[in-house]
Amino acid sequence: MKRIMFVCKKNSRRSQMAEGFAWALGKGKVAVNSSGLEKSEVDPLAIKVMLEIDIDISDQTSKTLSNFKPENYDVVISLCGCGVNLPEEWVLREVFEDWQLDDPEGEDIEAFRKVRDQVKERVASLIESLN
């Protein structure tokens, strides 16, 4: 079973969605966490757009990367371009990718849906490639 860490600057939107998709799409195939360079709160609109497709991330919390050890992960995915700011030991895992997805800030629900769908497509491809 591959162990995946999704990382974003604040662990409030994209990385939370990715964690939710990985749990839903990779059940029994992957172990997943998400974290941020800074701690924040899970954005209510991220929760809302995930619930629209029957994935509940309302129990997920924002966590900082410093709470985790890189040796416990095989795959590290940056969703925001923050890969350049990660400590080297995180970037040198078996798989490292930096997806650089737009941040759906504000109240634009359509922007959240667009990013949600992009995250789903990327996570599905990632899980398929790992198995």
Q: Which residues are catalytic?
A: 8, 80
The phi, psi pair for 75, rounded to 5°, reads -130, 130
Distance CA 62, CA 51 (A): 18
| Identity at 106, one-letter amino acid code | G
The Cα-based distances of 52 to 16, 81, 123 in angstroms read: 15, 27, 18
- With contact defined as beta carbons under 8 Å apart, do 8 and 81 qualify? no
Distance CA 127, CA 131 (A): 7
**Length reported for the chain:** 131
